[in-house]
A = this chain, B = another copy of it.
Amino acid sequence: MDLIARLRAGLPGEAILTDPDVTGSYANDMASFCEAGTPAVVVLPRTVEQVQHVMRTATELRVPVVPQGARTGLSGAANASDGCIVLSLVKMDRIIEINPVDRIAVVEPGVVNAVLSRAVNEHGLYYPPDPSSWEQCSIGGNIGTASGGLCCVKYGVTAEYVLGLDVVLADGRLLSCGRRTAKGVAGYDLTRLFVGSEGSLGIVVRAVLALRPEPPQQLVLAAEFPSTAAACEAVCEIMARGHAPSLLELMDRTSVRAVNAMAQMGLPDTTEALLLAAFDTPDPAADLAAVGALCTAAGATEVVPAETAAESDLLLQARRLTLTALERVKSATMIDDVCVPRSRLAEMLDGTAAIADKYDLTIGVVAHAGDGNTHPTVCFDADDPDESRRARESFDAIMALGLRLGGTITGEHGVGVLKKEWLARELGPVGLELQRGIKDVFDPLGILNPGKLF
Closest to A157 in B: B183
CB distance from A403 to the nearest CB of B (A): 10
Interface string of A168-194 (1 = CB under 8 A from B): 010001111101111111111110110
A343: Cβ under 8 A from any B Cβ: yes
Provide the bound-state CA to CA distance between A293 and B340, in Å: 46
Given contacts A146-B185, A184-B410, A441 and B431 within 8 Å (CB-CB): no
Provide the bound-state CA to CA distance between A426 and B187, in Å: 10
Provide the bound-state CA to CA distance between A213 and B214, in Å: 21
A412: Cβ under 8 A from any B Cβ: yes
Closest to A454 in B: B187
CB distance from A448 to the nearest CB of B (A): 13
A359: Cβ under 8 A from any B Cβ: no
Given contacts A242-B124, A371-B181, A373-B183, A175 and B100 within 8 Å (CB-CB): no
CB distance from A127 to the nearest CB of B (A): 14
Provide the bound-state CA to CA distance between A427 and B340, in Å: 37
Given contacts A101-B239, A174-B430, A442-B434, A423 and B186 within 8 Å (CB-CB): yes
What residues on B are CB-neighbors of A408 within 8 Å?
A: 179, 181, 183-186
A366: Cβ under 8 A from any B Cβ: no
Given contacts A242-B124, A371-B182, A175 and B430 within 8 Å (CB-CB): yes
A438: Cβ under 8 A from any B Cβ: yes
A193 touches B185 (CB 8 A): no
Name A186's contact: one of B195, B415, B441 (CB within 8 Å).
B415
What residues on B are CB-neighbors of A102 within 8 Å?
A: 341-343, 372
CB distance from A188 to the nearest CB of B (A): 5
A160 touches B160 (CB 8 A): yes
Q: Which of A160, A242, A423 has the most CB of B within 10 A?
A: A242
B431 touches A175 (CB 8 A): yes
CB distance from A337 to the nearest CB of B (A): 9
What residues on B are CB-neighbors of A339 within 8 Å?
A: 179, 181-184
A243: Cβ under 8 A from any B Cβ: yes
A342 touches B101 (CB 8 A): yes
A181 touches B430 (CB 8 A): no
A292: Cβ under 8 A from any B Cβ: no
Provide the bound-state CA to CA distance between A99 and B179, in Å: 34
What residues on B are CB-neighbors of A434 within 8 Å?
A: 175, 190, 441-442
The 7 closest A-B pairs by CB, nearest first: A213-B242, A437-B441, A182-B371, A184-B408, A146-B185, A192-B192, A183-B411
Q: A157-B183, A186-B408, A440-B441 are in contact. List 16 more A-B contacts (CB 8 A).
A: A102-B341, A102-B343, A152-B182, A175-B434, A177-B431, A179-B408, A181-B371, A181-B406, A182-B339, A183-B373, A187-B427, A188-B435, A189-B195, A189-B196, A190-B434, A441-B441
Can you pick out 26 interface pairs between chain A and chain B where the beta carbons lie within 8 Å of each other? A102-B372, A103-B239, A104-B341, A145-B185, A152-B182, A157-B183, A159-B189, A160-B160, A173-B430, A181-B340, A181-B406, A181-B408, A182-B370, A183-B373, A185-B410, A185-B415, A186-B408, A186-B410, A186-B419, A187-B196, A187-B435, A188-B435, A190-B435, A192-B192, A434-B442, A438-B438
